[in-house]
Each structure stands twice: as structure tokens, then as C-alpha cells.
Amino acid sequence: MATPATDEERRLARLVRAHDRWRSREVFNLLPSENSVSPAARRFLASDLAGRYTLPMASEFDGEALDNSYTGTRYTDQIEALANAAATRVFRARYATVRPLSGHIAALSALVPLLPPGSRVLAIPPDRGGYDGYAPGFVPALLQHVVRPLPADGEGFSVDAAAAVDTIRRERPNAVLLGQSFFLFPYPLRAIAEAAHAVDALVLYDASHVLGLIAGGEFQDPLREGADVVVGSTHKSFPGPQGGLLLTDREDLFAQIDPALVWRVFDNAHWNRIAGVAQTLLELERVGAEYARTTVGNAQRLAQELDARGLPLIAKSAGFTRSHQIHLDRPALRARHGIGGGALARRLERQRLLIDLVGRIGTAEATRLGLTPDHMPRLAELLVRGGIRGERVAAEVLAWRREFPALRLA
């Protein structure tokens, strides 16, 4: 008989149960960096795969030729092949790997083999909505790259084609690294890629935030528009378990990237996660187009409804957004309503409405639950009543949330 659980084990189980109840049943999650994993993918996360290794590659050990360092892998290797094949179909890519452990690791998976120390990289700086990881002290410091700013000075940190092309011609970088954490509008990618390729620079597209929209045919199609490598997280607008993936059409680049993954960027790739990502890819083959279209439609309608109720948002003249995100205009929020973006988010959290502390609101998870543009006036009303007027709307939010007990688009 198993020994009884300790008090600390019971406390841990209570905390996980409480988290699950709260986050998956009792709030509306409007954080653009997150999503809800489907029940089928969750089952795979909790499967026996969670504790297993496989290392399918030719090696030699003690004079013997081996095809793997492990035994017991007959299903694991088929699961990986299925996942990669699904990724090539969903993204119409020639090559795909779902091995990278996260979006950040997927970026490293491309940068480490393709750009030696001393390489010059253009990236959008964090104060223009870029990813903090690409700022000088982080990934560039780790890989000894020199990073210079790619301008994103348009409405909502959008990139102007002429300014980007000028910068590329002037700086003659080895790579242009696109992608933002505050990501509202597609890039003028064809112009950027043409200018980059003319100076022999690679175009790497970090689709972490918009990967699910790209999967569903919304936003833009980076591989068709000139990106050499696409990387991204599998858990933001792409509605899977936390992880990363990498796509390319270029055989020469994949031949450098794929063999360098293991031992340079990570070792074991977490096969329960890969089964979960594979499941999500297969779900997107069924519902991805509707999911992506509705997610963007919801973001645009929610922005209009919030604006009509006096909540200041950026990029109004550009139609607010073409992604799953909308952004608070934090200085205008403070001037008009006397509250900062962080305080607003904390106030809304108490009312069971989650937005992030840096002013982003996202519609991906709400769309998975089944909310459509027709629901956005009510959502905007609750956000304004709970966040600006300081009303207690938590009970009303909970009652409404209970009308969406399961993921509709999964």
C-alpha cells in the first residue's frame, strides 16, 4: 500500500485544484500571452510521455552504431513525426520542428546555428513594442550579437516600409529579426525581405504572439512574404501547451538548424508537450480558420466598444488592431480617468476579468470559449464598469462565464 500523502502534498493538491477552478472556470482571461489548452491536449500532457526520453539520431558508442540512446521509444518517434507533418501542413512550410521548448528557445534554435558571434542584427526595441529578450543585455549578449534598432514608429508601433528599408540599406545587418510582444499590425514584409536579401541578410520572423492567427490564415503569411525562418510560442494566440516551433522553406537553413537543436539549445524535447502540440495542430486543421477570423473580429469590435465608452486605446486611426491584441493608451487613461494601466488591471482582476499589467488586452482565449463580436458590447461594458467606474461586477462576470463551460473552438 502506498504511504499516505503528507500535509504539504495535500496542500499542493488543493492549490492546483483551486488554480484550475479559478483560471479555467471563474474568470474571463483576456491576457494576450495565454490560451486555454483543449481537454484532449491536456490528457496528453498528463500521459506517460511526461517522464520519457528519446534521442533519435545516429551515433556510435563503444564501437556500436546506434539509432537512439534510449529504448522504449517506438511510439514517441511516431508522435514527433506526426506533429512535424501536421505543422508543415498547417503553416504550408517545407520543414518544421516542434522540438523547441518555448518561443524564446525556438528563436535561439535559429539564432545559434545561423548567426555566429559578432553578427549584426536589427530588431524592434522593447520601447517600440519589441520583445525584451532581443534587447542588448539579453539574447544578443548571450550570443555576442550586436543589435541595432529597427524603427517601429508608426501607429501602435507599426513598421513603415520606407523607414525599415532605409535602415536595412544603411546598417547592412546579417539578420533582420521581426516580431513584437505588443503586436497589432502585420509588417510590410515583402519590402523588408527584398531589402534584407539584397544585402544578404536573413529575415527571421518571431510569430510568438500571432502564430495561431497565421495558422488560421489571418494576419500575414510570413513564409510566402519572404521570411526565411519563422519561430514562435505554441501557447499565445496558438492555443496549445506551452512550447515553441520553428518553420522554414529553406533546406539549406534547416540543415543547419535541425542538427544543432540537441545539445546546443536543449537535450530532451518533452514528448507529452509535443503530443499536446500535435493535437492542437490537428484541431486547428478543423477550426483554425474560424478561430483566427473570430479572434481578430472580436479584438476589433471590443476596441470599438471600449472606445465608444471612453476607454482610451492606441491606434484608433489605424482601426485599433489586426491581431488578437488591443492596447490601452496609458497616459490618456491616467489623464482622463486618473488611473494607471497596472492599477486598472489589478482592479479588474478582483472583478474576475484578467488583462495584463502593461496595458494589453487579448481576445484569443475568449474566442476559444465561444464569444463572438456580438458579445463584445457586454464585455466592454463590464470592463468599463469594473475598471473605470469601480463597480463590483464580479458576480455578474461569474454568472456570464458559467454560460461558457467548455471550449467551443477546439
Ligand X SMILES: Cc1ncc(COP(=O)(O)O)c(C=O)c1O
* Among residues 244, 276, 373, 387, the one that binds ligand X under rule CB under 6 A: 244
Q: Which of 354, 410, 213, 215 is nearest to 296 (CA)?
A: 213
The yes or no reply on residue 179 touching ligand X (CB under 6 A) is: yes
The yes or no reply on residue 226 touching ligand X (CB under 6 A) is: no
Minimum CB separation of residue 235 from ligand X in Å reads: 7
Instruction: Give the orientation angle of helix 161-171 with respect to helix 189-198, to 10 degrees.
Output: 10
Minimum CB separation of residue 33 from ligand X in Å reads: 5
Find the part of the chain contacting ligand X (CB under 6 A) among 86-94, 118-126, 201-209, 259-267.
Answer: 201-209
The yes or no reply on residue 35 touching ligand X (CB under 6 A) is: no
The yes or no reply on residue 254 touching ligand X (CB under 6 A) is: no
Q: Which three cell numbers mark 344? A: 486598472
Q: What phi and psi values does residue 247 have, to the nearest 5 degrees?
A: -135, 145
* Among residues 54, 233, 304, 367, the one that binds ligand X under rule CB under 6 A: 233
The yes or no reply on residue 131 touching ligand X (CB under 6 A) is: yes
Find the part of the chain contacting ligand X (CB under 6 A) among 90-98, 112-120, 177-185, 330-338.
Answer: 177-185
Residue 121 CB partners (closer than 8 Å, separation 6+): 115, 134, 140, 145, 146, 147, 148, 173, 174, 175, 176, 177
Q: Which of 116, 149, 378, 148 is nearest to 256 (CA)?
A: 116
Minimum CB separation of residue 104 from ligand X in Å reads: 3
Q: 85-121 in b/e burial notation, b at 16+ Cβ within 10 A?
A: ebbbebbebebbbbbbbbbbbbbbbbbbbbbeeebbb
Contact 296, 322 (CB under 8 A): yes
The yes or no reply on residue 181 touching ligand X (CB under 6 A) is: yes
Instruction: Pick the closer one to ligand X by CB: 208 or 295.
Output: 208
* Among residues 34, 80, 171, 206, the one that binds ligand X under rule CB under 6 A: 206
* Among residues 28, 35, 103, 363, the one that binds ligand X under rule CB under 6 A: 103
The yes or no reply on residue 240 touching ligand X (CB under 6 A) is: no
Contact 328, 359 (CB under 8 A): yes
Instruction: Give the orientation angle of helix 76-90 with respect to helix 271-308, to 10 degrees.
Output: 30
The yes or no reply on residue 97 touching ligand X (CB under 6 A) is: no
Judged by the rule CB under 6 A, the positions of this chain that interact with ligand X are 33, 102-104, 131, 133, 179-181, 206, 208-209, 233, 244
